[in-house]
Amino acid sequence: MKILVVCQHYWPEPYPLPDICEELVRRGHTVDLITDVPNYPMGITYPEYKGGARRKEAHNGVNITRTFTIARRHNAVFRLLNYYSYAWSSSWYASHLKEEYDVVFTNQTSPIMMSSAAFAYARKHGKKVVMYCMDLWPACLAAGGLTEQSPIYKFFGWESKRLYNKPDRILITSQMFRQYLEQQHGVADEKIGYLPQYAAAQFDTLPLAQSKKNTVDLMFAGNIGAAQSLTTVLQAAELLREETTLRWHIVGDGSELGNLKAIVREKRLDNVIFHGRKPPEEMPAYYAQADAMLVTLTADKFISLTLPGKVQTYMAAGKPIIGAAIGEIPQVIEAAQCGWCAGAEDAAGLADAVQKFLRCPDREKLGANARAYYQAHFTRARFMDELEKELRCYAQ
């Protein structure tokens, strides 16, 4: 197949899509991609892409075109400019493409408008679009404090309904997305399929951990934003300050990192360690040192429908999981029998879950359960086979 891929974020930004595109290339398909000028997650254009540099390049067999994008920086105005600059420029480029593709694949996170170019191309050439829905819009806006009654939320509700009804097929990362898309946006049930995320291959085999240590290391790894509710982790760390063997590790970067560091300084939480953002190839070494992994989400009723990709990665690494969330996350942890999950934003509950882990006589069994569940439900091979089948089904 000849596949046109549309997504606002791509390599060298920290993002899972390159592995999918490169595997499609390895399977014999041609993949051309329309994406942004890299500036995620710090909101600053990467130096090697400034001044119009590297707008067309190839990476591991994927042909990349980068359209005009205003860097997101760290305020709402520039974030909005970032969203629409890519949506407009990529749509203009796609609508003028003369190349013929068999199918269009759009990888949709935030914002929903990042998929606009897929529909611009499909409309002109009469092709079908398969969307991979990883975030729900406008539900994601609730993490930033917007209410459903706000004019901005209502505008993006209208925009989201319009765009979610354009694809021929929507593949969802969480089972709970189905009800939201049907009830909030009127998407037909038969258009929706379930395709959960998988973990990168480097987590299949972790480096050997330190054999002897006098600490119990808990780790959160990933984006640090409002939706992740990491203040809950800091509150639990404060509640368990007297557990002197506990160490709370936060690996990653994002809009809330500065606020979290300020809280740690104010509370003098010497048991919390920030590592910053690390390249993907270094992450298995960090995971190897963790006794259990942390996953938290805000209590928003829509954001709780998400199953973050980090859950699959934690499981692939064979690590117990301790969480504070509602929705799909506790269901998966319970089904896998790989840890404990408190309610969203429930610091006392998270602290209690950590104490259960500390008292657990067979922590290795929790990790083995996590790995077994991953192998049964979330492997890369299963994902790619299903995606390839879906793309072939809608190719013309």
Q: What global pTM score does this model have?
A: 0.85
Pairing of strands 30-35, 56-59: unpaired
Using an 8 Å Cβ cutoff, are 113 and 284 in contact? Answer: no
Residue partners of 275: CB distance under 8 A and separation at least 6: 249, 250, 251, 252, 286
Using an 8 Å Cβ cutoff, are 272 and 243 in contact? Answer: no
For the stretch 111-141, pLDDT in tens is: 999 999 999 999 999 999 999 999 999 988 8
> Which domains are present in the chain?
2-198+379-394 (3.40.50.2000), 201-377 (3.40.50.2000)
- Between CA 217 and CA 314 the distance in angstroms is 14
Containing 218, the helix (H) or strand (E) segment is strand 216-221
Going residue by residue through the chain (396 aa), what tens digit of pLDDT does each one get?
A: 999 999 999 999 988 899 999 999 999 999 999 999 999 877 899 999 999 999 999 999 999 999 999 998 878 889 889 999 999 999 999 999 999 999 999 999 989 999 999 999 999 999 999 999 999 999 888 777 778 889 988 999 999 999 999 999 999 999 999 999 999 999 999 999 999 999 877 777 776 666 678 899 999 999 898 889 999 999 999 999 999 999 999 999 988 999 999 999 999 999 999 999 888 888 999 999 999 999 999 998 888 888 999 999 999 999 999 999 999 999 999 999 999 999 999 999 999 999 999 999 999 999 999 999 999 999 999 999 999 999 999 998
For the stretch 365-385, pLDDT in tens is: 999 999 999 999 999 999 999
- Between CA 185 and CA 133 the distance in angstroms is 14
Containing 185, the helix (H) or strand (E) segment is helix 177-185
* DSSP output for 243-283: -TTEEEEEE---TTHHHHHHHHHHHT-TTEEEEE---GGGH
User: Among candidates 176, 220, 180, which has minimal Cα distance to 328?
Assistant: 176
- The tokens of 353 are what? 């879950």
- Between CA 6 and CA 89 the distance in angstroms is 12
The residues that bridge with 342 in the sheet, in sequence order, are 324
